């Protein structure tokens, strides 16, 4: 069964600290995505990737980096976390025209 | 500018009633449109995907329509159950290799006994 696994599921970070959110997919999908979901906003795309070694900026990339070291793994990196980055983050994998699968989300709180 | 607009923002129905959710969008190109269900604090689960210029799909008590000329989609839920309480999100997929998705803000559906 298709699966997207995010870790950690919950994280509390201090302002200015580095945070890495991890995502693993077993779907052999080329495309992977990182979104954030905030009250009053739909999911917004931060970064995405076409495949291993590629990362592309989404609609709100500022303050975030991404890394796709392999087909299965896609990480979101906050080098200097800020309280405005407190949110719920979702990872997804998919192929154009095919199903897309989401992880269960990571709740990040930056204090 | 909001590219995917959903209405109503929230809706309360009694168990057993039917309901209709609307989605209007301005995303171009529009390769396909998906409806997702998101339970509170959970991830998104795909309900259906619509692809054709004028498309209809059915998945149990969920049925959906898409009119690409009007850039409009509807999601119908028949004989609602308490477990249908959730946020329903309309998502438009662009016709590119990136498979980029644009999300609506969702309609919050509450089903009461």
Give pLDDT tens digits for A42-77. Answer: 899 999 998 999 999 998 999 999 999 999 999 999
> Count of CB atoms within 10 A of residue A76's CB?
23
Mind telling me how many Å the CA of B11 is from chain A's nearest CA?
Answer: 16
Identify which of B50, B78, B80, B84 has the alpha carbon closest to the alpha carbon of residue B65: B50
Mind telling me how many Å the CA of B15 is from chain A's nearest CA?
Answer: 27
Query: Does the structure show a pLDDT above 80 at A22?
Result: yes
CB A93 within 8 A of CB A49: no
- Best probe of the B interface among A4, A32, A42, A56, by most B CBs < 10 A, is A42
Place of tokens 């009053």: A40
**Closest Cα in chain B to A39:** B105
B80 touches chain A (CB under 8 A): no
Place of tokens 């995917």: B4
Query: Does the structure show a pLDDT above 80 at B96?
Result: no
Which two tokens mark B55? 């498309």
| CA dist., res. B69 & res. B67, Å (int) | 5
pLDDT of residue B37: 96
Give per-residue pLDDT as tens, B62-75.
Answer: 999 999 999 999 99
Query: Does the structure show a pLDDT above 70 at B52?
Result: yes
Size of interface A-B (CB pairs under 8 A): 58
Give per-residue pLDDT as tens, A81-94.
Answer: 999 999 999 999 98
Give per-residue pLDDT as tens, B6-43.
Answer: 999 999 999 999 999 999 999 988 889 999 999 988 88
Torsion of CA B21, B98, A88, B3, to 10 degrees: -40
Confidence of residue B98 (pLDDT cuts 50, 70, 90): low
CB B92 within 8 A of CB B27: yes
B100 touches chain A (CB under 8 A): yes
């Amino acid at each position: 069964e298709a699966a997207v696994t995010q870790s950690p599921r919950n994280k509390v970070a201090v302002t200015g600290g580095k945070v890495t959110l991890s995502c693993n997919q077993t779907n052999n999908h080329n495309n992977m995505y990182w979104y954030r979901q905030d009250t009053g906003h739909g999911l917004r795309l931060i970064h995405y990737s076409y495949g291993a070694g590629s990362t592309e900026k989404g609609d709100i990339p500022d303050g975030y980096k991404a890394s796709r070291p392999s087909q299965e793994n896609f990480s979101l990196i906050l080098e200097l976390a800020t309280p405005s980055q407190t949110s719920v983050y979702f990872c997804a994998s998919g192929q154009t025209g095919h199903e897309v699968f989401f992880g269960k989300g990571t709740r990040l709180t930056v204090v | 500018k909001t590219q995917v607009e959903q209405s109503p923002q929230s809706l309360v129905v009694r168990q057993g009633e039917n309901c209709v959710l609307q989605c209007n969008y301005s995303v171009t190109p529009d390769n396909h449109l998906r409806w997702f269900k998101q339970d509170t604090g959970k991830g998104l689960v795909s309900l259906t995907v619509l692809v054709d210029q004028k498309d209809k799909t059915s998945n149990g008590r969920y049925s959906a329509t898409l009119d690409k000329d009007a850039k409009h989609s509807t999601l119908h839920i028949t004989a609602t159950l308490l477990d249908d309480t959730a946020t329903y999100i309309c998502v438009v997929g662009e016709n590119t290799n990136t498979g980029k998705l644009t999300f609506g803000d969702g309609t919050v559906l509450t089903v009461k006994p």
